[in-house]
């Protein structure tokens, strides 16, 4: 019964978001308890204290992009859109164009990129986050980064991360390089577009 309920819940999620969660179904078949523990762990992302919603989604989408080239990123974008995040903000995050981001979003994006790259500039962004929103905001962003990476990491580890797709934002497809690479320039992120290691192409 437990396994059946997990499969049923996962299938409902797939229908709701038009998302292939085959790796979750496989995980359930292998060990329902493992699937249950995985779902509990990803619940950390529900901790959302003191951070503007746009900034929180910016962190999550940037983190998932570091691990995934399509389906998981599309899922994160769809969830952000349903929560009312402006498609223009989402495009700026996906194309790593901080000059097109609202200040709060740019701060969250810079902090996330520095954190992912283990760059020392994360310290200055963390200090600014605490000054602007308080220490719980750092925890919220940390959990958003962590949980966003968990899904594609497990998916790829289980052999299901083979599909790269265009991400659709506001009804318009967006194609880009899979990798998110490039260290901080001069101690801060000015945006990979300026640094020359990111390419985005609008399609449609």
Q: Tell me the pLDDT tens digit for each residue of 166-177.
A: 888 888 778 665
Q: Are residues 51 and 8 in the same domain?
A: no
Rg (CA), the chain: 17
Specify whether the CB–CB gap between 28 and 39 falls below 8 A: no
Q: Are residues 172 and 109 in the same domain?
A: yes
Q: Are residues 99 and 166 in the same domain?
A: yes
Choice between 16 and 122, residue whose per-residue pLDDT is larger = 122
Residue 25 sits in which domain range?
Answer: 1-46
Q: Are residues 116 and 183 in the same domain?
A: yes
Q: Are residues 70 and 114 in the same domain?
A: yes
Total number of residues shown for the chain = 204
What's the rounded mean pLDDT across residues 113-123? 96
Q: Are residues 10 and 58 in the same domain?
A: no
Q: Which of 183, 105, 115 is nearest to 145 (CA)?
A: 115
Residue 136 has pLDDT above 70, yes or no: yes
Is the whole-model pTM more than 0.75? yes
Q: Are residues 40 and 99 in the same domain?
A: no
Q: How confident is the model at residue 203 (pLDDT cuts 50, 70, 90)?
A: very low
Percent of the chain whose predicted confidence (pLDDT) is above 70: 83
How far apart are alpha carbons 39 and 65 in whole angstroms? 20
Q: Are residues 92 and 181 in the same domain?
A: yes
Return mean pLDDT, the chain.
Answer: 83
Q: Are residues 8 and 87 in the same domain?
A: no
Percent of the chain whose predicted confidence (pLDDT) is above 90: 53
How far apart are alpha carbons 80 and 69 in whole angstroms? 17
Q: Are residues 180 and 130 in the same domain?
A: yes
Q: What is the pLDDT of residue 50?
A: 95
Q: Which of 199, 193, 192, 158 is nearest to 178 (CA)?
A: 199
What's the rounded mean pLDDT across residues 103-131? 97
Q: Are residues 56 and 83 in the same domain?
A: yes
Q: How many domains does the chain have?
A: 2
Q: Are residues 25 and 91 in the same domain?
A: no
How far apart are alpha carbons 96 and 193 in whole angstroms? 7
H runs (alpha helix) in 18-96: 22-30, 32-42, 53-65, 71-82, 87-94
């Amino acid at each position: 019964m437990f396994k059946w309920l997990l499969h049923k819940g996962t299938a409902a999620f797939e229908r709701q978001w038009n998302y292939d969660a085959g790796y979750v179904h496989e995980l359930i078949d292998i060990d329902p308890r493992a699937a249950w523990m995985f779902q509990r762990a990803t619940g950390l992302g529900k901790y959302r204290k003191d951070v503007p919603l746009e900034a929180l989604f910016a962190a999550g989408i940037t983190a998932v992009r570091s691990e995934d080239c399509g389906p998981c990123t599309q899922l994160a974008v769809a969830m952000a859109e349903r929560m009312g995040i402006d498609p223009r903000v989402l495009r700026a995050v996906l194309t790593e164009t901080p000059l097109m981001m609202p200040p709060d979003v740019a701060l969250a994006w810079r902090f996330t990129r520095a954190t992912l790259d283990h760059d020392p500039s994360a310290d200055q962004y963390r200090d600014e986050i605490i000054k602007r929103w308080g220490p719980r905001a750092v925890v919220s962003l940390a959990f958003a980064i962590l949980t966003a990476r968990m899904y594609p990491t497990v998916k790829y580890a289980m052999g299901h991360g083979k599909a790269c797709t265009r991400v659709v934002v506001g009804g318009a497809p967006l194609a880009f390089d899979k990798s998110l690479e490039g260290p901080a320039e001069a101690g801060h992120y000015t945006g990979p577009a300026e640094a020359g290691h990111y390419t985005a192409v609008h399609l449609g």
